[in-house]
């Protein structure tokens, strides 16, 4: 006692010696002390690693951009590192001039850079039936947000002379072995869809579709076709396997809802969240993410008493359309048990529903499109866990 903290009293070696030279790591890496922050596969979720998912560690991230190395991965048949000089992209179907583009052709065209979230339609799937997973990484981690660069699909469709009288949809096809094909309405294709080659300022990583992927802002991840090789323009939805067998919503009356593509308004508190532990009472900055496939986030409210009382959180800038938004709110924890929730409202006025409001409409057999309010229970011990309220 009274000795003081040696970490401030004694000059450490790094203050007395020469550091490592520049370009020791020609491509930079995180600190060795951050090695625990990794995208992780949920044990036992799928039998084959090539047809699986790894989750983004949302609990350890700040701001709104997901570092490329922590962007979640979802592959139906594994990933490849494709030679860009051999990769081709074709547009055919209801167009005057079907064309085959090289990467050089595409990268000479006028490009745009936009920040958008991508969320798998199956994100938060396990919460439909019951409380299933122990952390926000596994409950909400099929969610990432990046800046994407590429040529607007509208420019390419114009270049090929799309037949605007007959065309109603486009079909996007990937070059991997999963026969991944998705129908997208022509209206959306001509709006904000991007044929992208870059993510966060560099070429796409192979796991995310190098050298080319579709960016479909606001729409579920499955439509963001990776290793994109073809767009066919057609006059009716294609009802492919990933549109009729998978990625359909089981409704309570036994029917299935198809082509539900938009990711509705949603939010989640990332800290404090399940699996974390508060070490003491006193001040905490409650922080989280909010997003909507229909535009910008207008407001986020936070409750610490299971939804009885709500306070409006601070929204950090930038507040972009179809992009993650970061919220923060001050809180003094008095040591009593608490239930933390966030509720987002988007610019259309849509309010994120409670899980039971959602179940009343959608039943419990769904896998996809669960955008319900998430509850984290804080025990007197400081442990935070995943709960569902009535």
Q: Which residues bind ligand MTE (CB under 6 A)?
A: 71-76, 118, 120, 174, 176, 178, 180, 207-208, 221-222, 224-227
Beta bridge partners, 297, equal 346
Cα–Cα distance, 277 to 273 (Å, whole number): 8
**In this structure, are residues 143 and 285 in contact, taking their beta carbons and an 8 Å threshold?**
no
CB of 187 to ligand MTE, least distance (A): 21
Whose Cβ is closer to ligand MTE: residue 137's or residue 377's?
137
CB of 222 to ligand MTE, least distance (A): 4
The residue of the chain with the least Cβ separation from ligand MTE equals: 174
Whose Cβ is closer to ligand MTE: residue 150's or residue 174's?
174
Whose Cβ is closer to ligand MTE: residue 61's or residue 315's?
61
CB of 228 to ligand MTE, least distance (A): 7
From 221, 248, 267, select the one nearest 374 (Cα to Cα). 267
**In this structure, are residues 231 and 170 in contact, taking their beta carbons and an 8 Å threshold?**
yes
| Residue 176 in tokens | 């991997």
Token pair 């039998």 is found at 47
**In this structure, are residues 358 and 389 in contact, taking their beta carbons and an 8 Å threshold?**
no
CB of 53 to ligand MTE, least distance (A): 8
**In this structure, are residues 322 and 117 in contact, taking their beta carbons and an 8 Å threshold?**
yes
CB of 218 to ligand MTE, least distance (A): 14
Give rounded-to-5 percent helix, strand, coil for the chain. Answer: 15, 35, 50
Backbone angles phi, psi at 155, to 5 degrees: -65, -45
| Residue 72 in tokens | 């979640």
Whose Cβ is closer to ligand MTE: residue 173's or residue 346's?
173
Cα–Cα distance, 295 to 323 (Å, whole number): 8
Number of DSSP helices (H) and strands (E) in the chain, helices first: 7, 24
Whose Cβ is closer to ligand MTE: residue 93's or residue 209's?
209
CB of 74 to ligand MTE, least distance (A): 4
Whose Cβ is closer to ligand MTE: residue 133's or residue 304's?
133
CB of 70 to ligand MTE, least distance (A): 11
Whose Cβ is closer to ligand MTE: residue 185's or residue 385's?
185
């Amino acid at each position: 006692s009274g000795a003081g903290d040696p970490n401030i009293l004694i000059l450490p070696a790094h203050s007395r010696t020469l550091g490592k030279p520049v370009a020791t790591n020609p491509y930079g890496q995180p600190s060795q002390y951050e090695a625990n922050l990794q995208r992780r596969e949920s044990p036992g979720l799928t039998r084959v690693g090539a047809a699986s998912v790894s989750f983004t560690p949302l609990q350890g991230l700040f701001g709104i951009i997901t570092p490329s190395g922590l962007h979640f991965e979802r592959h139906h048949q594994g990933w490849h590192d494709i030679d860009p000089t051999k990769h081709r992209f074709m547009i055919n179907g209801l167009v005057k001039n079907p064309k085959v583009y090289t990467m050089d052709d595409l990268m000479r065209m006028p490009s745009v850079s936009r920040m958008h979230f991508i969320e798998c339609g199956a994100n938060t799937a396990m919460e439909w039936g019951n409380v299933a997973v122990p952390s926000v990484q596994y409950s909400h981690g099929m969610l990432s947000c990046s800046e994407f660069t590429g040529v607007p699909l509208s420019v390419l469709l114009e270049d090929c002379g799309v037949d605007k009288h007959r065309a109603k949809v486009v079909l996007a096809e990937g070059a991997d072995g999963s026969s991944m094909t998705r129908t997208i309405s022509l209206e959306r294709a001509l709006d904000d869809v991007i044929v992208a080659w870059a993510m966060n300022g560099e070429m796409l990583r192979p796991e995310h579709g190098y050298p080319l992927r579709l960016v479909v802002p606001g729409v579920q991840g499955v439509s963001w076709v990776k290793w994109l090789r073809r767009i066919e323009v057609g006059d009716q939805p294609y009802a492919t396997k990933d549109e009729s067998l998978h990625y359909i919503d089981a409704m309570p009356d036994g029917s299935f809802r198809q082509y539900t593509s938009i990711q509705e308004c949603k939010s989640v508190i990332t800290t404090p969240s399940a699996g974390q532990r508060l070490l003491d009472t006193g001040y905490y900055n409650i922080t989280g993410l909010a997003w909507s496939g229909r535009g910008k986030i207008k407001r986020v409210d936070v409750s610490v008493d299971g939804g009885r009382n709500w306070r409006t959180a601070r929204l950090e800038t930038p507040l972009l359309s179809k992009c993650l938004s970061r919220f923060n709110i001050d809180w003094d924890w008095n040591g009593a048990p608490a239930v933390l929730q966030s509720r987002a409202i988007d610019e259309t006025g849509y309010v994120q529903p409670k899980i039971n409001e959602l179940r009343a409409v959608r039943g419990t057999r769904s896998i996809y499109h669960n955008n319900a309010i998430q509850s984290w229970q804080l025990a007197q011990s400081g442990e935070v866990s995943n709960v569902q309220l009535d």
